[in-house]
Amino acid sequence: MQKLALAGKYTLVTGASSGLGLEMARIVARDHRGHLVLVARRIDRLEALAAELRTAYGVEVECIQADMTRREDVTRTFEEATRGRVIHAAILNAGVTYFGRGLEHGFEDFSAMLATNVTSVVWLTQRFAQHILTESPGGGVMIVSSVAGTTATPFQAAYSGTKAFLNNFGMALGEELVGEPVSVTVFVPGGIATEMGEKSGTGRKFKKGDVGMMDADVCARRAVLGLLRRERFVIPGALNVLNDLLLRFTPRGLASAMAARIYRDALPPKP
């Protein structure tokens, strides 16, 4: 297939109210003059971004307030996004994390993480890939995962597990669709200086400007480029790529122990 084109077509972005999702939406509008459907829980932030993009770049932007932990919101997202318009690309970026000791991770919080990071992504990937095949051949889906899914990551045990699922699901589904007029890209960033890191607590150790930490806009540019090129598995940043290569030759137990030493210092003290 040719490179994916976004100009004059609709791209859906979930988790678009801040961080990586917001920056990817800006790039689609600014650099590619693509129309957008923005999805997140915080409608005020979505509307502010939509107004900015409409004014600055003359694109059409629609907003959908939705919580990916709620099955009815996930279903409604697809229905509203495709009502009266065709979606050519879907960037499934919404995600939540938990940083802390695994035995202290409440099961309700874990269930919400599973719904957001896994269940909603699988459902929306299936629906939008089918939609693109029938309504907009040549489009694509991008699943935003994490390097935490490439190795067992202590103190992010459940999060790491959900991202490992996405890595394998996205790669396998992409292989199934080889030869079909739709592509699946798995985007696998490492540390990004975003609001999510500050909320989770990892920001106590990993800060903007640190080695290995990418700015959200830089990371977003690589993500959109990977989508356009129809790359199957994209790890942004030379250091992250090198780390991934080295981990392939590192025993799993040793890799996990190394990750534990890195993250342990960022844990809050026990009461």
What is the distance between the alpha carbons of residues 168 and 244, in angstroms, rounded to a whole number? 15
Q: How many CB atoms lie within 10 A of CB 34?
A: 25
pTM here is: 0.90
Cα–Cα distance between 208 and 210 in angstroms, integer? 6
54, pLDDT greater than 60: yes
Neighbour-count burial of 58, counting CB atoms closer than 10 A to its CB (0-12 exposed, 13-18 middle, 19+ buried): exposed
Strands of the chain, DSSP E: 10-14, 35-40, 61-65, 87-92, 139-144, 182-187, 192-193, 214-215, 233-234
Residue 167 has pLDDT above 50, yes or no: yes
In this prediction, residues 137-161 reach a mean pLDDT of 96
- Tens of pLDDT, residues 102-123: 999 999 999 999 999 999 999 9
Indicate if 159 belongs to the active site. yes
Would you state the pLDDT for residue 206?
52
Domain ranges of the chain: 10-264
CATH architecture of 10-264: 3-Layer(aba) Sandwich (3.40)
Task: Give CA torsion, residues 149, 154, 155, 159, to 10 deg.
Answer: 20
Of 10, 57, 98, 159, which one is the catalytic site residue? Answer: 159
Q: What is the pLDDT of residues 188-244, one digit of tens each?
A: 998 775 555 445 455 545 545 454 678 999 999 999 999 999 999 999 988 889 888
